[in-house]
Amino acid sequence: MNPNQIPAPEGALICPAVEGAANFFSTSYDPATHLFYVNTLERCAAYTRRATAEWKAGRGYQGGGGRRDPNDRPQKILRAIDINTGKFVWELP
């Protein structure tokens, strides 16, 4: 966990946002180069939490929400990661 990344009643800027990082993009691996390729989305969002009634089976639960930061400039980046070291070998915005 990154420090200071917990939703708060007044909102907390958290990076990456739920649709950010590498959650939804397909990855690839090349055994000849030992590189793992992943497309990432660098994006942040403000997340809030609020007090709610106790959760009950079969009912929705909404303990907070998120909104995009209007000042954030999201960027997609293709990254090659060395599987032996875990380090970025290169990246292409």
Q: Is residue 60 part of a domain?
A: no
| Torsion angle of C-alpha atoms 41, 46, 52, 55, degrees rounded to 10 | 10
Q: Does residue 4 form part of some domain?
A: no
Q: Is the pTM of this model over 0.75?
A: no
Q: Is residue 22 part of a domain?
A: yes
CA atoms within 13 A on the CB side of 43: 20
Please indicate, yes or no, if residue 83 is contained in any of the structural domains.
yes
Please give the tally of structural domains in the chain.
1
User: Who has greater pLDDT, 88 or 48?
Assistant: 88
- Residue range 42-48: mean pLDDT, rounded: 86
Write out the residue range of the structural domain in which residue 85 sits.
Answer: 12-52+65-92
Residue 47, number of CB atoms within 10 A of its CB? 19
**Phi/psi class of residue 76: alpha, beta or left (left: φ > 0; alpha: ψ in -120 to 50)?**
beta
Is residue 5 in a domain? no
